[in-house]
A and B are shown apart, each in its own frame.
Chain A
Amino acid sequence: MSPLLASVGAETETAFTMPSINYYAIAPILILFGAAVVSVLVEAFVPQRGRRPVQLVIVVGSIVAALAVTIDLRGTRLVTGEGAIAVDGPTLLMWGALLVIGLLGALLMAERSIDPLGDAFAPRASALPGSEDEQEFTRRGFLQTEVWPFLLFALTGMLVFVASNDLLVMFVALEVMSLPLYLLAGMARRRRLLSQEAALKYFLLGAFSSAFFLYGAAMLYGFSGSVSLVAISDTLSAKTGEGSLVAIGIALLMVGLLFKVAAVPFHQWTPDVYQGAPTPVTGFMAATVKIAAFGALLRVLYVSLGGLRWDWEPMLWIIAALTMLVGSVVAITQTDIKRMLAYSSIAQAGFILVGVVAASPQGLASALFYLVAYAFTTIGTFAVITMVRDASGEATHLSKWAGLGKKSPVVAAVFSLFMLSLAGIPLTSGFVGKFGVFAAAIDSGNTWLVIVGVVASVIAAFFYVRVIVLMYFSDPTPDTASVVIPSAFTTIALTASAVMTIALGVFPQWLLDIITQAGVFIR
């Protein structure tokens, strides 16, 4: 029958069966999604002045509710939505981490007493930078409260991303997570042109990488006839010797995912975006996107492509080594602290990749621990950066941090703690994390990768420690920035991340236990 008539002549009733969905298992997603929709309605119907408090209640309330459900779900291990969503130990662990970090990020974004002009976002992102409109909006204290629905949508996307058991679901989640972040990156209150440039670069390159991901998924579908991770894995073990479609598929899929984790050949966007985006957004994004992207990467590699580990491991070895080295070396040359941290985040992605390529349950566990530890430290780091300011806004040039330790000893000490943790000094969470991934790599026989990792760590330690030396061992100059006392929002976020950085460094066992109980991905 001709294709045109096929759909017309189909009167044969095929029984449609309703999908079986365990709504409670995906309740955290539904809560955040519902809250995001409600917060769009708030933007529509609540008058200008009332929006911020209402949005804050919705954001904090929904994240806390989702977190409570996530905790209640612990031990759950099921695949729902006809095989599209997997709720297992690693999923729940990453949900928990994403929600907590999301909450801290929301607190940073809610801060309004650091900048005398208002919060970190432009009063109206559509007003031309420097225009009369912009000044008038600032004078009237307008706030762009649309950032709250964007935050909730991004978190929703991340939650789905780490739980998706299907490449198509993963792709949609990737977009749901990325689109709001592109927008948020372009909404800074100060240095707006830089911020808009960052958003544009992030958007263009991000769209490009999403296209690669989709192309890769299409190749894998062409090979296996399915986009389900499990079905692809089954086909891989059944069919052998038809490698080219699979190889291309994996390579393209990896481009899309490695772009999001900022691994080296695909890292070019990171410094510009980290520098240009409003600092609370940078902190939120640096921490959560890393978790979400690595979560998806781990699931794809472990659930779907585990049978082909001999094919993808060499590729990831090289990428991990390059990522660690390039990130660490280039970070040394940076003079802007946000750019330096961007390169540092690239190097950190390399360290996590060392755990990923171990391709063992131990590797998964160590990568998860590293991600959680890194996320807390990172969001704390950017919280400090929001507070170090001069007359023109945040003082991100390193020279303005000289002697900060003498002017504001407490904040400098907290920042030093984060730097030490990122460098992987013992008694901080970063040390436990690094130790874990390196141990997993040695167990899998990747000793040379560990050697590269240690070399990169030493290089990286140089620029982390340099900031500490700059803060404590040089005298304040007239240019030295001053630390603004924040409101409770930033204080809570900063305290929480500092406490976690120490707690995971001194008593890491409880999180290690949780990760052990979480086990491996469900198949």
Chain B
Amino acid sequence: MTDTVTDVNTGEQVVFWVCAILAVAGALGMVLSRKAVHSALWVALTMINLAILYIANSAPFLGMVQVIVYTGAVMMLFLFVLMVVGVDASDSLIETIKGQRLAAILLGLGLGILLVWGIGSGLVASPTVGLDAANDAYGGNVEGIANLIFTRYLLVFELTSALLITAAMGAMVLSHRDRWKEVASQRDLSIARFRSGVHPGNLPNPGVYARHNAVDTPAILPDGGTSDLSVPQPVRARGDERTLDQVDIDEVRQITEGSGE
């Protein structure tokens, strides 16, 4: 059995120290952030760094899955859940069961100590085998996984689709609202719009020749006045609409008619 501690080369050490520090920093950031969304982004940092560590430790499949599933899917679901629940929803911190938090901390610490001690002593007692033998058996880590999936775990692999089906169906059942009213088609909507008597088509664009933010610049009508309709209602409501003075109108005339210059 080779002593794996001295086996580590400089490159691996550099990767380890960079990624380990970033991963721990991400974990700390997650716990310490006040905003839930920030916490979620910190977790993403931790996950990515763990993925790099996995790859550096001869487990490229695990590293890729870490990125695809955790950093991609799970993180997205986290963010998503936060948004459904409400980003700034301040949870009540009042304990409903007395002493629950203290008990949880004590039990959690106890389990943590037990696990660290147990795994630690277990690792000291058992020799480190490494992944080389397993990875070389089929010509690579990913190939090895593929061979396992398509032999011993073939049935389980096919069975996994049951999980995926249940998940998607469950999401449909729980969140998709069936309609019992007729849905208005585009034709219906169009007819309704013309019937309603308000302006049926597009509103005029903002002043496209403006040298400022187009949103807040009204279009100039042929008579030299400005069209209020061309500035979005919210901008108008906030009083952000630009007023045009003669200088602007001259400027536009200069551009359109090519006079001067």
Contacts and interface: CB of A to CB of B under 8 A. Distances in A.
Asked whether any CB of A lies within 8 Å of a CB of B in the complex, the reply is: yes
Contacts of A173: 156, 159
B177 A6 contact: no
A248 interface: yes
Nearest to A81: B155
Given A183-B173, A242-B126, A153 B166 contact: yes
A146 B173 contact: yes
Nearest to A29: B155
B162 A248 contact: no
Contacts of B123: 222, 245
Contacts, number: 162
B141 to A, nearest CB: 6
A176 B177 contact: no
Contacts of B178: 124, 126, 137, 142
Contacts of B142: 7
Interface string A395-423: 00000000000000000000000000000
Interface stretch (B68-76, B144-152, B184-192, B222-230): B144-152
The residue in A7, A222, A247 that gathers the most chain B C-beta atoms within 10 A of its C-beta is A7
A166 to B, nearest CB: 8
Interface string B166-185: 11011011111110100000
B148 to A, nearest CB: 9
A492 interface: no
A84 interface: yes
Q: What is the size category of the interface that chain A forms with chain B?
A: 35 or more
A225 interface: yes
A146 B174 contact: no
B248 interface: no
Contact of B122 (A43, A142, A169, A248): A248
Interface in A103-148: 124-127, 133, 136-137, 140, 142, 144, 146
Nearest to A33: B162
A144 B173 contact: yes
Interface stretch (A11-19, A343-351, A355-363, A372-380): A11-19
A501 interface: no
B180 A14 contact: no
Nearest to A186: B174
A153 B180 contact: no
B33 interface: no
A40 B165 contact: yes
Given A83-B152, A149-B169, A172-B163, A244 B119 contact: yes
B232 interface: no
B139 A19 contact: no
Given A142-B178, A172-B156, A245-B119, A187 B139 contact: no
B137 interface: yes
Closest 8 CB pairs of A and B: A10-B139, A245-B122, A7-B140, A82-B152, A10-B140, A244-B118, A19-B151, A3-B58
Interface of A: 3-4, 6-7, 10-14, 16-19, 21, 26, 29, 33, 36-37, 40, 43, 81-85, 124-127, 133, 136-137, 140, 142, 144, 146, 149-150, 153, 156-157, 160, 166, 168-169, 172-173, 175-176, 179-180, 182-183, 186-187, 219, 222-223, 225, 241-242, 244-245, 247-248
Interface of B: 55-60, 114-115, 117-119, 121-123, 125-126, 129, 135, 137-143, 147, 150-156, 158-160, 162-163, 165-167, 169-170, 172-178, 180
30 contacts: A3-B59, A17-B151, A33-B162, A37-B165, A40-B169, A83-B152, A85-B155, A124-B178, A126-B174, A127-B177, A140-B180, A146-B169, A146-B173, A150-B166, A153-B162, A160-B159, A169-B153, A175-B163, A179-B167, A180-B170, A183-B174, A219-B119, A242-B125, A244-B118, A244-B121, A244-B125, A245-B118, A245-B126, A247-B118, A248-B119
